[in-house]
Amino acid sequence: MSDTRVPPTRGERVADWFDGRLGIHTFGRKYLRKVFPDHWSFLLGEICLYSFAVLVLTGVYLTFFFHPSMNEVTYHGGYVPLNGVRMSEAYASTLDISFDVRGGLLIRQLHHWAALVFVAGMLTHMMRHFFTGSFRKPREVNWLFGWLLLFLGLFEGLFGYSLPDDLLSGTGLRFVDGALLSVPIVGTYLSMFLFGGEFPGHDIVARFYSLHVLVIPGIMAALVLAHLVLVVYHKHTQFAGPGRTERNVIGAPFFPVYLAKAGGFFFLVFGVLSVMAAVATINPVWSYGPYRADQVSTGAQPDWYLGFAEGLVRIMPGWEVTLRGHTLVLGVLIPVVVFPLLLVFIGAYPFLEARAGGDGREHHLLDRPRNRPVRTAIGAAWISVYLILLAGGGNDIVATRLHLSINTVTWAVRIGLFAAPAAVFVVTRRICLGLQLKDRELVEHGRPTGVIKRLPHGEYVELHEPLDQAALHTLTAHRRPAELVEREP
């Protein structure tokens, strides 16, 4: 009897060689078929990932032409209004990228827009996790990784924003210098260490450049990788529904379904960012001019994600306290302390909630925000604080546009900073409880049909249609708060 087996092809032999040494077949069979649930809110995390990839790609391109030096040169380039003006090499190279490098302005604006979308995506992504409770055990560490990415992203944006050495970014650095100087005892040393001498010094652009292109991106890349590994290890969370339990995941496999969707979505994000960069001007440094320590740009505003930090400083009274011959500038020191506390609260919340609620169980099903009224109210109150401080950071612009006194705007922000979060907390909590009552009515009586029926004794009633089992499961797959339970007859 002859042997009819077909000899393995070269590709099969190569695959067998790698599988025998690296276990690729076993690894691929386990993880390429991993199931991912399908919900639009999960795309927020992908927007963060893809905008980060765009940042890396465009950042590498910009490093070929940017000169991180504060040595003064006389500009002679494509932007005629500034020809013959003394400026730093950093600012001159930024102008060259914008006007003399083919595609340079598009790439620079794409980089800046991607940075804004990246931070916005991270904040929105974390809020989605916050309101749905996906930060609970066993994902507290992954929540901290995401929080660290947001925290580093804020400073990474500040460093990149400061690199062109234009008048607007220099005004922002003056703000940073003032914040450092307000720190008791060591403030002067911190400022001298950062700027390499008296502000603005000659080293700050080179130092920020190293942090911006090497140190922080490397840390962020490692955190992104660790974040994705933990997502795979813990399996993906999902909303409650028929057949969905704490022990399974219902959705599409990673390969080929999810991978195809993810690939298409990457090019969609890339395309939208490219269109934004092509049609919407951002950070036109040529309009501001080079930085000079004796000048301040009018209407200077930071990028939106740091606007709330400036709002803290602008609304603070100019309080000063003298202790043993040392002056504490509380008008700056208090905002410097409050700024990180607002961010630390986000990072520590999973542990605070678990301790307050005594919940040590693992959670793989997501909450509907209405079913956790206290948590939802806390998140809404935090957002209100952020938005009010963001308005305070542009109090001069708000006053100019609305034809108001800047003192009126400042006092409105001061009062709103304390009154608005309390009001938002109470209103949001009541709305959530009201929505729960509405859900209970739907479960008990069904969905209104709009059909009116007259009863034999003359009364008119609206007919209700019972909900299907899938809708009933979704509306009842949660623990109700004690307030609603106590109202039951």
Structure tokens that stand for 200 in this block: 């603005």
Across the range 376-390, mean pLDDT stands at: 95
Strand-pair partners of 166: 290
Q: In angstroms, how far apart are the furthest CA atoms of the chain?
A: 104
Asked whether the predicted pLDDT for residue 482 surpasses 60, the reply is no
Give the pLDDT band (50/70/90) at residue 4. low
Q: Residue ranges per domain, the chain?
A: 27-297
What is the distance in angstroms between the CA of the first residue and the CA of the last residue of the chain? Answer: 83
Q: Note the pLDDT tens digit of each residue in 287-304.
A: 999 988 877 766 677 888
Burial call 3-40: b when 16+ CB within 10 Å, e when fewer? eeeeeeeeeeeeeeeeeeeeeeeeeeeeeeeebbbeee
Supply 313's token pair. Answer: 């400083």
Q: Which of 378, 371, 383 is nearest to 353 (CA)?
A: 378
Rg of the chain, C-alpha, whole Å: 28
Is the pLDDT reported for residue 484 higher than 60? no
pLDDT higher than threshold 80 for residue 97:
yes
Contact between 258 and 36 (Cβ < 8 Å):
yes
- What pTM did the predictor assign? 0.88
State the chain's mean pLDDT as an integer.
Answer: 88
Q: What is the pLDDT of residue 489?
A: 43
Residues 466 and 80: their CA atoms lie apart, in Å, by: 73
pLDDT at 1 over 60: no
38 has a pLDDT exceeding 90: no
pLDDT of 191-242, one tens digit each? 999 888 888 888 899 999 999 999 999 999 999 999 999 998 888 888 888 8
Length of the chain equals 489
**Does pLDDT of 33 surpass 90?**
no
pLDDT for the residue 80? 93
Kindly report, residue by residue over 118-148, the tens digit of the pLDDT: 999 999 999 999 999 999 999 999 999 999 9
* Arithmetic mean of pLDDT, 443-468: 88
Q: How far apart are CA 77 and CA 81, in angstroms?
A: 10
Over range 43-63, report the average pLDDT.
95
CB-count exposure of residue 355 (10 Å: 0-12, 13-18, 19+): exposed
Higher-pLDDT residue of 429, 170: 429
Angle between helices 406-445 and 304-315 (to 10 degrees): 120
Residue 102 scores a pLDDT above 90: yes
Give the SS3 label for residue 451: strand
Q: Report d(CA 338, CA 330) in Å as an integer.
A: 12
Report percent pLDDT > 90 for the chain: 53
Report residue 486's pLDDT band, with 50, 70 and 90 as the boundaries. Answer: very low
Residue 290: DSSP 8-state: B
Per-residue pLDDT tens over the stretch 247-287: 888 888 877 788 888 889 999 999 999 999 999 999 999 99
What's the per-residue H, E or C state across 65-76?
CCCCCCCEEECC
- Residue 384, pLDDT above cutoff 60: yes
Residue 258 is given by DSSP the state I
Least confident of 96-105, 310-319, 473-482: 473-482
Q: What pLDDT is recorded for position 370?
A: 93
Q: For the residues 109-124, what does the mean pLDDT come to?
A: 95
Q: What is the DSSP string of 189-255?
A: HHHHHHHTSSTT-SSHHHHHHHIIIIIHHHHHHHHHHHHHHHHHHH---EE--TT--TT---SEEII
To which residue do tokens 């379904």 refer? 257
Q: Does CATH number 1.20.810.10 belong to domain 27-297?
A: yes
Supply the DSSP symbol for 166: B
**Which segments of 250-394 does DSSP mark as H helices, in order?**
259-279, 285-288, 304-315, 330-357, 373-393
Instruction: Using DSSP bridges, classify how beta strands 460-465 and 72-74 pair: parallel, antiparallel or unpaired.
Output: unpaired
Separation between Cα atoms, residue 447 and residue 463, nearest integer Å: 9
- Residue 9 structure tokens: 């092809």
